Structure 1
Amino acid sequence: MKNLPLLFFGIFFVLAFSWTGLILSSVIQYGDLKPIAMEEGGVPQPQARVGVAQQGKLVYISQGCIYCHSQQVRRKGFGADWERGWGNRQSVPRDYILQERVLLGTSRTGPDLMTIGERQPSADWHHQHLYNPQFTSPGSIMPPFRYLYRTQKIGDAPSPNALKIPDTFPEEKPEPGYEIVPTERAEQLVAYMLSLKLNYELPESRNAE
């Protein structure tokens, strides 16, 4: 019992030191970062994600996309991100400052998605990929998300957002007179995917090349 105060203060200082190193140092280092314009009169970057794209982020999380995809482009020479075309620069802390929840990811069962909105700017591509990944990426192990789409009878005219089924997959086409359309969640998720871009420069990204 005589050593109980010493044990208590030892545990306290270990926890305090850990908190200082992990939390306080990060706040000091990154807490004052703000969007910045690289040119006079330019638009400060990054910009906040709003509207349908922000709603799509919640769909992205709920569907478990974070377990197979990362959102961080590594520095050139650290991995093969650049060689794979996943980004033209590394991602830096300022890229994430306006995000309430940062989805860096812990594994890459699938490709990194930090710049997927630049690499695949077509909404049709993303809808096809979600409905059946084999449409766009033969051999992909990604599961289909067909439940984010519904089959409906064609009205006076086909829906402009009806899914375009490749002719190489005739078995996936709906019955004559019917069409497959995205649900609201599918539209939101695709809007989020299209918003994932690194098409701007930051001082840190230039210095890190």
Structure 2
Amino acid sequence: MGPVEVTTETAKAVQEVAKTAGKGIDAATAMGGFIANYVRGPVEQGLGIFEDKLRYARWERQQRLMQRAEAFLAERGLKEPPNGLPLKFAVPLLQAASLEDDDNLQDLWAHLLVNASVEPEIASHRMFVNMLENMSSLDARVLLVLKQSSTAPHDAIITGNLPASAPVWRPEMPQSDAQPSEEVLLSLANLDRLGAITGLGTAGGGTSWVAVHVTILGRKLIDACSAAA
């Protein structure tokens, strides 16, 4: 590619960024106007309320993330991270973690951050960030219960009582077709989509969620996001 083509491509990229930024500004202004209608003030006041709230909310979550990470480091007997993280792992992790408004999920992010700095192998698995970013608090709780219940990779874990408990199926157990709640079914389906679990195949080619297996990826994710043993 010659200098002219490079310049042209750069100009196009700048234009696209400008368009995106412009849309963001328009959306924020619209929200400011929406708030202004309700507080009976100027658009500038509504926009200020909107921006200040977002800024404070993110600052608050950032502060909590730092505090939790420092606490988890201290639990390991460390005052600072022993290893640096690659940017392609650290940047998306920190962005997602600082926006997370669920305390339980943010603790998982903080553990992942600390654990990756202690064990560099974790930071080579970008999929951990992608998986956690696509999980709800219920998803994380369900996966943790499943992993804690299982003692072997090929255990079939009964799901009917999730998220309270999930016993491993044994031959001496009576046959049961009990399904978990619809909310848990959706959670199981999402965990399957993310590659953390697999359901049982049916004769018709579908998937049954009466029992599931936790994949090696699901196990490694929970380990990476948990306190050190």
Q: Which interval holds the TM-score relative to the shorter structure?
A: 0.3 to 0.5
More RCO (CA 8 Å, sep 6+): 1
Larger helix proportion of the pair: 2
TM-score by length of 1: 0.35
TM-score by length of 2: 0.33
